[in-house]
A = this chain, B = another copy of it.
Amino acid sequence: MELPTIQSDACCSLAGTVIDEAAAARIAPMFKALGDPVRLRLAALIASQPEVCVCDLQGHFTLSGPTISHHLKVLREAGLIGGERRGTWVFYWINPDALQSLSALLQPTVPAAS
């Protein structure tokens, strides 16, 4: 059933390691959160400034308030952003560590010598 495979050569990878079931269950929700066009743009908007008020996000979309709020919740539960109410408004900020860990996971470990 299983063919022999060549393992030795330094190859590009998702961090060069095979991801076990537990790690996949932990990491996949982050990618999933970024896997919606609205949330990807929301994350980029939030990441473009130290912090952003929800009131400033709504104008970028032709979506209802509840829908924006839903997507922000998904991003927050994935650990990609944090949020806090301050007085009347609610502010969100990016979680740089989460972005960095995902970026590192996708980074080819061995840059091809050109």
Binding site for B on A (CB under 8 A): 1-7, 9, 11-21, 24-25, 27-41, 43-45, 47-53, 55-56, 59, 82-85, 89, 91, 93-96, 99-100, 102-108
Contact of A103 among B1, B47, B48, B103 (CB under 8 A): B103
CB neighbours (8 Å) of A103 from chain B are 103-108
Interface of A: prevailing SS: mixed
Known A28-B34, A34-B28; contact A48-B106, beta-carbon cutoff 8 A: no
Closest partner residue, chain B, to A103 (CB atom)? B106
The answer to whether B84 touches A18 (Cβ under 8 A) is no
A37 smallest CB distance to B (angstroms): 4
